[in-house]
Amino acid sequence: MTKTDENLILSYLRLMRFPNAFTAMADVLAGYLIVMGSNIDWIDLLGLLLASTCVYSAGCVLNDISDRIKDAVDHPLRPIPSGKISVPHAVYFSLGLSLTGLICVSPSGSGAIIILMLIILFSILYNFVTKNLIIIGPLTMAACRAFNLVLGMSQALSFESHMMIFPFITFCYVLFITALSRFEERANIGKIGAIVFGSAFILIMISLYMGLGLYYSKEYLIFFIILLLLVCPPLLKSLLRPETLTIARAVTFLILGIPILDAIYVSANQGLLYGFPVAMLTVPSVILSQFFYVT
């Protein structure tokens, strides 16, 4: 393999936000373990994991396509504005990832296929229609991520089940991340914004603690504490000093904390040991985030 080929592969990995792919896997793995426990069909689970990874990555590619004009100013070294990957090639890459995802999920049944198609639809809507809309944009992105968790739960999920609290919490968590990320480039949260966003995150954490405590054992508390230790310091710093770098760092850690959030769900429902493989997906995400951009 030549140096040029290696650089091109790295460019495509950057385009698909490679570290984030492990957070998408964590959603599906968590959802699957929540509803299936130890009754694992490994082929089925592998198909769901690959499908989620492909479709999530396709959405990240679409994000860079839609932001290419802005990135030419703010992030000129990214693959598309730098010219390392052309827009048509990026479009083909995203389409190929989405089709691969649909092929991988097909053995899991019609329910999983429909959910994956909804994720694709909401991803397209977010990147090309709702992204710049103040309220609908974050709602659309949050729906994508909540459906990703539901994808893992699709094999044995009743929508009347109290387990729906898990995708609801993910929806609220990602809604907060997306809203906060709006200030990454402008860095103008100010005191009112700090109060609003800080209060929103506190409400999410209180809802998580109280909601899970109503139905499940307290084994999830160790991951709850780990999540707070991971995300609270950079988040508080961004709220006290709302600058581009501090906000970007807070958003990054909130995204990297998603596997820990997923581990909370699993350990609450299935026990502490089931939460560890989900939480461990944070490790490659954190390591790779040193070399690839996340936001």
pLDDT band at 5 (very low <50, low <70, confident <90, very high): low
Domains of the chain, by residue range, sit at 11-288
Quick: pLDDT tens for 10-58: 999 999 999 989 999 999 999 999 999 889 999 999 999 999 999 999 9
Quick: pLDDT tens for 216-268: 777 888 898 899 899 889 888 887 777 778 888 888 888 889 999 999 999 98
Over the chain, what is the mean pLDDT?
Answer: 86
Q: What percent of the chain has pLDDT over 90?
A: 51
104-141 in b/e form (b: 16+ CB < 10 A) is bbeebeeebbebbbebbebbbbbbeebbeeeeebbbbb
Kindly report the pTM of this predicted structure: 0.89
Tell me the fold of 11-288.
Tetracycline Repressor; domain 2 (1.10.357)
Among the listed ranges 158-162, 198-202, 279-283, which one has the minimum average pLDDT value? 158-162
